[in-house]
């Protein structure tokens, strides 16, 4: 089975990390085509996955773009589509991993006569996409895709609600290798010491810094917690969101939390940093399509408090393998933090349940087998 993967990003986000896991078993007979150069290409190469940057010209369409803006980008898409069509003829499938990849892949599928698979990593809703973007995605998927893989029931439901065909849509969760989330106690202790976290109750937030990711919610909740509670924010602005980062720093200063909030930026040692936390917080204000961070924290054996919306509801059972709070409610989040601080035995049991559940439900080998079965039926 020869697969031509397409992805729009040069930077590794959740969809890109998922693609690495899917492509690994096919690395001897696949190619990942990117629409931008960057660190994602380096990650693919480190995993010995063939990769090629197909264009260096940024596609001027964003999630909130109008129809006129979308039509204005067609001129720059034509050479890219032609290149994808030519390469696609060497493969059995085109596998579009992002929405811009879907646009290019759909047209390339038509001209190259190769089946198209669309991996839906998004919730197609007004909070995330303009009406034009939603309409284009659904129309192209309905017309050209032989299979739409949704990363959660929430993503599938939103796709169908927008008019997507349920008969071509299957839910397959992201896969993870549990071995990658094991850390030695000595390394964890050294990390806490290095970051000045000894004697602290540490809450970790792992995400790009963006308004809908809700770091401001955690900071507001932190102000309602005892002094020993500290937060580390791992991630930075990705898509022109520097103004939000400045607002976060100002919020920390206004609340006099400079000694209790650490901005760590982008890091590659996520499992070790998670292991150094006492609690991992997910605070998205809009429904999350899946929530990789939630599963990663579970695999690290850490309790998770997540916003009760979207894919998170499918991952966390409140009080059993994690905690759920109403999105955008810092008071509820603060209450959970205080509970975890005051009831360590109960919290440890929940973290153990989470690790067991995640290891069983999201094992990458089983997930890749599910995808292989679906591709073989095309």
Over residues 188-199, the pLDDT tens digits come to 999 999 999 999
Are 110 and 182 within one domain? no
Q: In terms of domains, do 299 and 152 share one? A: no
158 & 190 share domain? no
Give 280's contacts (C-beta < 8 A, 6+ positions apart): 203, 204, 205, 206, 274, 293, 294, 297, 300, 302, 303, 304, 305
Domain shared by 367 and 351, yes or no? no
Same domain membership, residue 345 and residue 254:
yes
**In this structure, are 250 and 168 located in the same domain?**
no
Number of domains into which the chain is organized:
2
**Regions of the chain where pLDDT drops below 50:** 65-68, 71
Tell me, what's the pLDDT at 275?
98
| Same domain, yes or no: 161 and 273 | no
Q: Which is it for the CA torsion 220, 204, 39, 214, positive or negative?
A: negative
- pLDDT at residue 67, rounded to an integer: 43
- Asked whether residue 100 falls in the same domain as residue 200, the answer is no
C-beta of residue 333 within 8 angstroms of C-beta of residue 223 = no
pLDDT tens digits, 9-67: 998 889 999 999 999 999 999 999 999 999 999 999 999 999 999 997 766 555 554 44
Q: Report the CATH number at residue 73.
A: 3.40.50.2000
357 and 367 housed in the same domain? no
For position 68, what pLDDT does the model report?
A: 46
Are residues 34 and 132 located together in one domain of the fold? yes
Same domain, 316 and 170: no
Burial of 351 (0-12, 13-18, 19+ CB in 10 A): buried
The answer to whether residues 41 and 90 belong to one domain is yes
Domain that holds residue 356: 178-361
């Amino acid at each position: 089975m020869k697969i031509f993967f397409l992805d729009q990003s040069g930077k590794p986000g959740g969809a890109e990390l998922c693609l690495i896991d899917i492509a690994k078993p096919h690395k001897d007979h696949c190619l990942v085509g990117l629409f931008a150069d960057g660190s994602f290409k380096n990650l693919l190469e480190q995993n010995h996955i063939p990769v090629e940057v197909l264009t260096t010209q940024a596609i001027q369409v964003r999630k909130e773009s109008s129809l006129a803006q979308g039509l204005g980008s067609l001129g720059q898409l034509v050479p890219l589509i032609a290149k994808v069509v030519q390469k696609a003829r060497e493969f059995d499938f085109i596998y579009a991993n992002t929405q811009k990849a879907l646009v290019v892949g759909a047209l390339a599928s038509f001209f190259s006569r190769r089946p198209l698979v669309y991996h839906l990593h998004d919730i197609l809703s007004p909070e995330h996409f303009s009406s034009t973007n939603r309409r284009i995605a659904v129309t192209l998927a309905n017309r050209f895709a032989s299979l739409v893989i949704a990363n959660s029931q929430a993503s599938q439901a939103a796709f169908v609600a927008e008019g997507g065909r349920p008969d071509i849509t299957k839910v397959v969760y992201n896969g993870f290798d549990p071995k990658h989330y094991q850390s030695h106690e000595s390394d964890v202790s050294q990390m806490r010491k290095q970051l000045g976290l000894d004697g602290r109750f540490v809450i970790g937030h792992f995400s790009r810094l963006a308004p809908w990711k809700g770091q401001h919610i955690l900071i507001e909740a932190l102000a309602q917690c005892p002094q020993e509670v500290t937060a580390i924010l791992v991630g930075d602005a990705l898509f022109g969101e520097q103004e939000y980062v400045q607002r976060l720093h100002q919020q920390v200063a206004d609340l006099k939390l400079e000694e209790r909030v650490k901005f760590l930026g982008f890091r590659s040692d996520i499992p070790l940093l998670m292991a150094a936390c006492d609690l991992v917080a997910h605070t998205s204000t809009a429904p999350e399509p899946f929530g990789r961070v939630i599963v990663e924290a579970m695999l690290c054996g850490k309790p998770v408090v997540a916003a009760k919306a979207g894919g998170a509801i499918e991952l966390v059972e409140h009080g059993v393998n994690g905690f759920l709070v109403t999105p955008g409610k810092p008071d509820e989040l603060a209450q959970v933090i205080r509970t975890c601080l005051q009831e360590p035995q109960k919290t440890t049991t929940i973290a153990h349940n989470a690790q067991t559940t995640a290891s069983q439900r999201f094992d990458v080998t089983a997930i890749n087998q599910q995808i292989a079965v679906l591709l073989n039926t095309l």
